[in-house]
Amino acid sequence: MGCDHRRTAAPVRRRDPAPREAPVNTPLVSVIIPCYNAERYIGATIASVLAQGQAGMEIIVVDDGSSDGSVALVRREFPQVRVEQQVNAGVAAARNRGLGMARGEWVAFVDADDIWLPGKLAAQFAQMDAVPGCRMSYTAWQVWPSAAPLPTSEQLEQLAAIAGDSARWGGASGWIYPDLLLDCVVWTSTVLARRSLFEEIGGFDPTLRIGEDYDLWLRASRVTPIHRVAHPYALYRIHPASITKSMPTDNYRAKVIGRALASWGMRSPDGREADKASVRRLLSKSWSDYAGAHLQGGSLAQARRGGWAALRTDPGHAPGWKVLIKSYVQALAPSKEKK
């Protein structure tokens, strides 16, 4: 799972105002970049962060056991970047290591193959300045299917042509807990938040192989409004190495949402409540998807487990019945052949 954001449409040179000149007393921003074998892309990622022109910024690259030349490239090309190396422990552990090193009042994240677009940090600070008490912000983004380190000028011009349509790029903003119960609407590479927020709620859960970011944003949504900048300020890279085709070892979406429901139920701190039927359908679908993946992979016992879980959540969930019946039919097929 993770926060899978492979939707949103169409690539800015921006029409919005140029990044504001950062005043002398601008709070320090710590930008955390987890890295695993990203030699091809990390230089472009770091360059896009530096292009923000943000005064008082530190960049922390946490290398999670890379076997390529990522670390050497960063040290050679970007000597101002702080580099920390660790034995491979996963992206949650890498981001947490970065949080532990951060000196900034504010923390931002970007993955080592994604790109920030000009004006991102300035736009987020401007919006939060206008919303007293807001401790976390995220922006709209553009899905970018590419193996090229940088977008072409043509791609940026295409995005610029549609970037000003705020209705197109709008989304959940404010006390978004009910929205998060239905979808991980926050993308980690766009997040900017006060470091004190993580000191209060903790960091990424390293026991979650997938969905560690979803879990954290749900926790954050209980203690602060999370405001969205309705403008695409980042490119979410999709390339063959970023897509996993392995069978899920667990239903992480159900695990993350189940934790939240057990702790806080359906109601947001501002009194809004998620639609129970919609949450139930989402959970059932997560189990039937899990079951379908195992059915396709030949793991019939796990497929049945997922099918039954889908039906316990929502007895009327047709895909759950379908995958469950198929799992039993496939289990009986060998014995029929022998007869």
Residue 16 has pLDDT above 80, yes or no: no
Domain extents in the chain = 29-242, 252-338
pLDDT digits (tens, 9 = 90+) for 193-251: 999 999 999 999 999 989 999 999 999 999 999 999 999 999 999 876 555 456 889 99
Q: What is the per-residue pLDDT for 245?
A: 56
Confidence of residue 160 (pLDDT cuts 50, 70, 90): very high
What's the CA gap between 261 and 219, in Å, rounded?
11
Higher pLDDT among residues 287 and 132, named by residue: 287
Task: Residue 310: name the closest of 298, 297, 296, 293 by CA.
Answer: 293
Confidence of residue 76 (pLDDT cuts 50, 70, 90): very high
The alpha carbon dihedral of 186, 238, 169, 251 has a sign of negative
Q: Fold for domain 29-242?
A: Spore Coat Polysaccharide Biosynthesis Protein SpsA; Chain A (3.90.550)
Q: What is the mean pLDDT of residues 119-134?
A: 93
The letter for the amino acid at 197 is L
Q: Is the pLDDT of residue 2 over 60?
A: no
- Supply the pLDDT for residue 133: 86
**14 compared with 195, residue with greater pLDDT:** 195
* pLDDT given for residue 132 in this prediction: 85
Q: Tell me, what's the pLDDT at 9?
A: 36
Residue 257 has pLDDT above 70, yes or no: yes
Give every CB contact of residue 98 below 8 A, 6+ residues apart in sequence.
30, 32, 33, 34, 60, 62, 84
Report the pLDDT averaged over residues 173-181: 97
pLDDT at 19 over 60: no
Pair type for strands 226-238 and 192-194: unpaired
Beta strands 106-109 and 192-194, pairing class: antiparallel
177, 45 Cβ separation under 8 angstroms: no
Note the pLDDT of residue 339: 40
